[in-house]
Amino acid sequence: MPITDKQRIQRRKSLGSSDLAAVVGVDPYKTAHDVYLSKVYGSTDIKSEAMDHGTFLEDGIIAYAEQSVGTMTRNQKRRVSGSPIVCNIDAIVNNTGNPVEVKTAGLLSQFAPTDQWGEAGSSEVPHHVNIQCHGHMLALTEDVGSMAEHPDHCHVPAFIGGRGIVLFVVPFDREIAQLIIDKAEAFWMDHVMCEVPPTDTSASMSALKRIVRVPNKIVAGNQDVDDWWTERLQVKSEEKEFKEAAESLQAKVIAFMGDAEAIEMPDGTWVTYFEAMRTTVDSKALKAAHPDIYEQFSNTKPSRTMRIKSVKAVQKMKMLLTQEQSV
């Protein structure tokens, strides 16, 4: 289920079940540093076609699971007592109180690897899903300190490409639950509350691009930043040299082909240079000839490009910013 603007603001004040795997260190999609950035600065949502498909399929997956598990109450929010963890649970089974976490996998890409999803009825789910399930179970535990009166398991109905809807059951594991509590509390107190980023993981470019930034805010750099930027310029220069060298070697191989389309190498492999057709749209011509159609199908997205500004350019920008602030 997509989150609302209100839920997005609230998520900055707590750790959601989808954050826990990254905090524990088993999330393949984001790091603990990514979670830190989203809590301290806020971040824009990730949107994808696969996520949209998953949202539309969720009601059907729940309805399918209810046939085997029983009726459910949808979209329940619960807090893990005495911790920063707040979970938005997809559903809770009415007659047992066990949570439900709906998943989709391999809908638009290659089918989900079999080593991540086991047989129907088993507890073999990806590690990050297991952690998320335990977050839900902790949120429904009466006394987290003693782990008393906890749910027996979390149901995971998953729509998997090539397999359809498969039902999994993740049993409550006390050691995993305690690990989550310890890691979450330490992460929240040592990093989020103190605004000190974790040093054992790096932020992904995806997370860095989604930070909600303050317009015209400028921070002072230090020697570390200067060293990183200098090293980046060196790497970019070397990258250009390697690219030029690769293109030169490729040209030699193509020249060797003459008028052929492929070379059979000594080891039996082929190096091919086949023609392929590619269709493009001349956007400039389309806009001139059919501006209404161009406008209808245009999609404008914000983007950021890192550049170095000269001292003269910086002085001019500072002057303009001062003028804007004085207005």
Q: Which residues contact 138 (CB under 8 A, 6 or more apart)?
A: 80, 83, 85, 87, 144, 150, 177, 180, 181
Closest-CA residue to 87 (of 133, 139, 129): 139
Q: Rounded to whole angstroms, how far apart are CA atoms 88 and 184?
A: 16
The torsion defined by the Cα of 269, 271, 276 and 282, in degrees rounded to 10, comes to 140
pLDDT in tens, the chain (327 residues): 444 555 555 556 889 888 999 999 999 889 999 999 989 888 776 666 666 666 778 888 999 999 999 999 999 999 988 889 999 999 999 999 999 999 988 776 655 555 689 999 999 999 999 999 999 999 998 877 777 788 999 999 999 888 889 999 999 999 999 999 999 999 999 999 889 989 888 888 888 888 888 888 888 889 999 998 999 999 999 999 999 999 999 999 999 999 999 999 999 999 999 998 889 888 899 899 999 998 888 888 777 777 777 888 878 877 877 777 666
Cα first-last separation, the chain: 44
* Both structure tokens of 211: 């930070």
* pTM (two decimals): 0.74
Q: Rounded to whole angstroms, how far apart are CA atoms 161 and 105?
A: 6
3-state SS, one letter per residue, for 275-292: CCCCCCCCHHHHHHHCHH
* Both structure tokens of 130: 């297991």
Q: Rounded to whole angstroms, how far apart are CA atoms 8 and 20?
A: 16
Q: What is the pLDDT of residue 210?
A: 82
Does residue 75 contact residue 90 with C-beta atoms inside 8 Å?
Answer: yes
pLDDT in tens, 185-233: 999 999 998 899 898 888 888 888 888 888 888 888 899 999 989 999 9
* Both structure tokens of 304: 């950021």
| Enclosing H/E stretch for 104 | strand 103-105
Which DSSP category does 297 fall into?
T
Q: Which residues contact 270 (CB under 8 A, 6 or more apart)?
A: 262, 263, 264
Q: Is 252 exposed, middle or buried, given 0-12, 13-18 or 19+ CB atoms closer than 10 A?
A: exposed
3-state SS assignment for residue 268? coil
Fold for the domain defined by 5-209: Lambda Exonuclease; Chain A (3.90.320)
Does residue 125 contact residue 155 with C-beta atoms inside 8 Å?
Answer: no
Q: Rounded to whole angstroms, how far apart are CA atoms 20 and 131?
A: 7
**Type of residue at 321:** L
DSSP 127-153: HHHHHHHHHHHHHT-SBTTTTBS--SE
Q: At what angle do helices 174-187 and 32-40 cross, to 10 degrees?
A: 50
The torsion defined by the Cα of 297, 301, 307 and 311, in degrees rounded to 10, comes to 100
Q: Rounded to whole angstroms, how far apart are CA atoms 251 and 253?
A: 5
pLDDT in tens, 103-122: 988 776 655 555 689 999 99
* Both structure tokens of 16: 């959601």
Q: Rounded to whole angstroms, how far apart are CA atoms 136 and 34?
A: 21
Give domain limits for the chain: 5-209, 223-326
